[in-house]
Amino acid sequence: MTGKKSAVDATTREYQIYKFSSDDYIQGVPAVIVCKNDTEALAEAKKLLDGLDIEVWEGERKLVRIKSLDAK
């Protein structure tokens, strides 16, 4: 079997970061980050704010929607 090995192990979790346009449509594919916990994931997600709102998900679980200060 070939493919990229996941960086997730017993002490980490994979989170998806979705960016939303001003008319509330998902923009592109989600960014995937691997973090130890929700707090770390939220801190990393905030670094990705670039004028668009974002949502942070762990699988089917939505953690939060973060409004961009630049969003209109």
Enumerate the domain spans of the chain: 23-62
C-alpha pair distances (Å), 37 with each of 22, 58, 72: 29, 10, 31
If you average pLDDT over every residue of the chain, what do you get?
89
Predicted confidence band of residue 2 (pLDDT cuts 50, 70, 90): very low
Give the tokens for residue 57. 């998900």
CA distance 68 to 51: 5
Instruction: Read off the pLDDT of residues 6-31 as tens digits, 9 standing for 90 and up.
Output: 577 789 999 999 999 999 999 999 99
> Would the pLDDT of 1 be above 60?
no
Give pTM, 2 decimals: 0.82
Identify the residue with better confidence: 10 or 71: 10
Average pLDDT over residues 29-51: 96
